[in-house]
Amino acid sequence: MVSGCICLMTLTAGATSPTYLIAIGNNAGAANEVELLYAERDARQVTRVFQELGEVSGKTTMLLAGEDASTVRSALLDLNARIRAGGETNPKLIVFYSGHADSKALHLGNTRLDLTELRAIVKGSSASVRLLVIDACRSGAVTRVKGVKATPLFKLTYDTGQSAQGFAILTSSSAGENSQESDRLRASFFSHHLVSGLRGAADKNMDGKVTIDEAYQYTYAQTLKSSGRSLELQHPTFEYGLKGKGGVILTRPSNSKGRTGRLRIETPGLYLISEGSESGPIAMEVAVKKGGTVVALPHRKYFVQRRGLNSYREYEVTISSRRTTRLDTHPYRVIDYDRLVRKGGSQRGAVHGLTLMGGFRGQRIEGMGTTPMALAGYAVDFSTLSLGLRLGLSQFETPTHNEVQTLTERDWSLGIMVQRFIDFDLVSISLGILVEGLVFEQQFQTRGEAPARRAFGFSYGALLGIETTLWTGLALRLEGGPTSSVFEQAVVDGGEAVGQELRTPLTWSANAGVVIRL
């Protein structure tokens, strides 16, 4: 879904400086625009993260949901007047808007607030540092006022003054791009990744604080990645006009308060954190490097998935208020990629595997009895079914007629398998069919003349399999089922072949071995 969401922020450095927050969200736009689902929720989430991890209190917070342009304008001007009259040292101002917009104005229902006016109001605040963050369709137009272009990576530098001062703008998209919402995230891409970054995912140097440049770099990379899976790319932009000593700190995830706790992740990897269960809304996506990281999350149960090269690790953890939970101390289960592909949970479309098995099959030709066999196969697992090829060899040797004649029976098979897997916690059960082409070879060792024989046929049958993972990429497999063969067999009378007849014996097979998934 395409959204027009705009987020505006203004901030200053200084640990004891008061911080003012005004968060504005409006799902409704002009009459010809589709109503958004999550713009007002974006505003509430930004309010929450700054109250929990930033220097924002309930007394300095205003949340406007579904209000028109006149109300928003008055609230912004009144807040500027309040800051000017307050006389505090280095007060901070955060203004966040999420809703519809075009390249010229915010669309607050059927009313409009020009971007140039919005920019002027925010920049004109007496707060020491003003940061304007815009998460909206074509929101980059507000940075284009001074010719600013999309900047994926940068390093902020500061003067040697007493505190940071100035004005900056962060937008969710360039001047000609749409911004997008996600039902799975229950937010716009940009707002979701901004909040995740402020909760600690953007803390690149692991110092427990998230600065403006860390938040931008993280939000840029993640928004571009998320939008790359949709029809349109989003390129966040940044206009920088700050000077002074030190970076501007937005949040301090290491100092969570209220009903917020901390999750310590030490093992490097890519982690997907969902609320409640695997199918719950995504809380954040965190790329953990050497040294680990700490993210701050609201008190509740979470499903955590570490995505590796060949498998996922899945954890269930509960984050408690004002406590640190260490993920590495929790039990986990390993989910191999074949299972992920089969349930549609992997970015890979298929998983390839090799099978090596041995076993027995029942009697095909009268007098041959149970025959040992060896199998080698190749299979591809897709989300709905698995397809495979396999080569089989069975051999049986028996003396007959008072040990005067010895018969060696060798059967070659080349088969196609179609299977459907059902995955449980400890085992996977497969149901399928097998069709094989057969080559029968018989050789005789006798005192007289007995030329070798060769015949062709085919077989078909059902397969029931059970697999259990031994370790990542290697599984133990047991399989078996009824099979029927179709071939021509000689009719013997008095030890002499007098003709041929079509035989369709019903028999069975049972095999065991390993599956190596690549």
Which tens digit of pLDDT belongs to each residue from 135-153?
776 454 554 432 333 444 3
Average pLDDT over residues 63-70: 95
Cα 435 from chain centroid? 37
Instruction: Judge whether 168 and 243 are in contact, CB under 8 Å.
Output: no
Gap between the Cα atoms of 199 and 195, Å rounded: 6
Residues with Cβ within 8 Å of 59's Cβ and at least 6 positions away in sequence, in order, are none
Gap between the Cα atoms of 28 and 30, Å rounded: 7
Q: What angle do CA 249, 149, 203 make, to 5 degrees?
A: 25
- Closest CA relative to residue 194, chosen from 178, 214, 165, 169: 214
Would you place residue 176 in the very low, low, confident or very high pLDDT band (cuts 50, 70, 90)? low
Gap between the Cα atoms of 11 and 72, Å rounded: 19
Average pLDDT over residues 318-322: 92
Instruction: Judge whether 481 and 337 are in contact, CB under 8 Å.
Output: no
Instruction: Judge whether 65 and 36 are in contact, CB under 8 Å.
Output: no
Whether 425 has a pLDDT exceeding 70, the answer reads: yes
Instruction: Judge whether 137 and 177 are in contact, CB under 8 Å.
Output: yes
Q: What is the identity of the amino acid at 200?
A: G
Predicted local confidence at residue 1, as pLDDT: 43
Q: What angle do CA 72, 73, 77 make, to 5 degrees?
A: 115
490: tokens are 């000689």
Whether 251 has a pLDDT exceeding 80, the answer reads: yes
Would you place residue 157 in the very low, low, confident or very high pLDDT band (cuts 50, 70, 90)? very low
Whether 480 has a pLDDT exceeding 90, the answer reads: yes
Would you place residue 387 in the very low, low, confident or very high pLDDT band (cuts 50, 70, 90)? very high
344: tokens are 């549609």
CA dihedral sign, ordered 314, 316, 319, 320: negative
Gap between the Cα atoms of 244 and 160, Å rounded: 6
CA-CA-CA-CA torsion for 111, 116, 119, 121, nearest 10 degrees? Answer: -70
Q: What are phi and psi of 285, to 5 degrees?
A: -120, 125
Which of 63-72, 89-98, 348-357 has the largest mean confidence? 63-72
Domain residue ranges in the chain: 2-252, 260-331, 351-517
What 3-state class would DSSP assign to 11? coil
Helix (H) or strand (E) holding 116: helix 115-123
Residues with Cβ within 8 Å of 496's Cβ and at least 6 positions away in sequence, in order, are none
Predicted local confidence at residue 437, as pLDDT: 95
Report the residue count for the chain: 518
Whether 76 has a pLDDT exceeding 70, the answer reads: yes
Predicted local confidence at residue 93, as pLDDT: 85
Would you place residue 5 in the very low, low, confident or very high pLDDT band (cuts 50, 70, 90)? very low
Gap between the Cα atoms of 503 and 489, Å rounded: 7
- Closest CA relative to residue 201, chosen from 139, 283, 124: 283
Residues with Cβ within 8 Å of 372's Cβ and at least 6 positions away in sequence, in order, are 358, 359, 360, 394, 395, 396
Predicted local confidence at residue 254, as pLDDT: 85
197: tokens are 């970054």
**Tokens 């199998």 -> residue:** 375
Q: What are phi and psi of 143, to 5 degrees?
A: -85, -20
Angle separating helix axes 189-196 and 39-53, nearest 10 degrees? 10
Average pLDDT over residues 402-414: 76
Predicted local confidence at residue 502, as pLDDT: 80
Would you place residue 34 in the very low, low, confident or very high pLDDT band (cuts 50, 70, 90)? confident
Percentage of the chain modeled with pLDDT above 70:
79
Average pLDDT over residues 192-206: 91
What 3-state class would DSSP assign to 444? strand
Domain 260-331 matching CATH 2.60.40.10: the answer reads yes
- Closest CA relative to residue 139, chosen from 100, 113, 166, 109: 100
Q: Mean pLDDT lowest for which of 54-58, 176-180, 181-185?
A: 176-180
Predicted local confidence at residue 509, as pLDDT: 93
Out of 2.40.160.20, 2.40.50.140, 3.40.640.10, 3.20.20.70, the CATH code matching 351-517 is: 2.40.160.20
Domain 2-252 matching CATH 3.40.50.1460: the answer reads yes
Gap between the Cα atoms of 96 and 54, Å rounded: 14
Predicted local confidence at residue 177, as pLDDT: 54
- Name the burial class of residue 481, with classes exposed (0-12), middle (13-18) and buried (19+) by CB atoms within 10 angstroms of its CB: middle
Q: What is the identity of the amino acid at 141?
A: A
Predicted local confidence at residue 3, as pLDDT: 47
